[in-house]
Amino acid sequence: MLLTVPGLLNPLQREKIQELLQGASFVDGRQTAGFAAARVKNNLEVQLPPERRKVLSRLIMASLGHSEVFRYGVLPHRVADPIVARYEPGMAYGEHVDDAIMGTSGPRFRTDVSMTIFLNPPESYDGGELVVRTSFGEKKIKLPAGDAVFYPASSLHQVAPVSRGERLVILTWIQSYVRDPAQRELLYELNLAREPLLKEAPGARITSYVDRCYANLLRMWSEL
């Protein structure tokens, strides 16, 4: 399941991120890639001082905390520190799946969901689409600045070559309470029916049935 969140970052937040990135150095992105991914990865990743890195993490987590798509579609348990990646002309990231286990400075965690937040306007660069292979074929994703997309970390995906301008994105990975992407999708869609019922007909029997089904499926499938 691919989920997009328009305007996850507002203009003021994007401006703050640009301030944090000013004067920062970018290094070869292969330093953070696993063995297989490093063979097809060609990008740059920011190196921020600890204080700036903390501010960036707090800003991203605050934005995610206000997103219902993130809360109910991803069902987050642990979230990795964000990475800012830059692609210049000629750079790309070949087809790969993300590392199954991440975490070096803190607890190790399983990556169930990947997230990309686009930081610059799509018309400011050519190429650079996020291409995710799904059961319905390839999906090409290139969103407005501030928009985010969530997709299974287990899916084959790539970043198409950039031929003009600069692609700047924020990346992170999430361990979900529900490991299986098909189960997460069912819970998300069930909740889309559950939320209106809870608001519009809280005392109705059908609301009770749907709410109980959601709670018990989440209990059945969740991992702690």
- 156 and 127 within one domain: yes
* Predicted confidence (pLDDT) per residue in 112-133, tens digit: 999 999 999 999 999 999 999 9
d(CA 169, CA 29): 13
The CB density around residue 182, as the number of other CB atoms within 10 Å, is: 10
- 160 and 185 within one domain: no
CATH of the domain at 20: 2.60.120.620
- 69 and 16 within one domain: yes
Q: How far is CA 49 from the centre of its chain?
A: 23
The domain total for the chain is 2
* Predicted confidence (pLDDT) per residue in 181-216, tens digit: 999 999 999 999 999 999 999 999 999 999 999 999
User: Rounded to 5 degrees, what are φ and ψ at 196?
Assistant: -60, -35
- 212 and 139 within one domain: no
**pLDDT the model gives residue 2:** 96
* Predicted confidence (pLDDT) per residue in 20-52, tens digit: 999 999 999 998 777 777 899 999 999 999 999
d(CA 201, CA 125): 48
Q: Which domain holds residue 202?
A: 181-221
- 103 and 213 within one domain: no
* CA nearest to 220, candidates 193, 175, 183: 183
* Predicted confidence (pLDDT) per residue in 93-114, tens digit: 999 999 999 887 668 899 999 9
* Predicted TM-score (pTM) of this structure: 0.94
- 192 and 105 within one domain: no
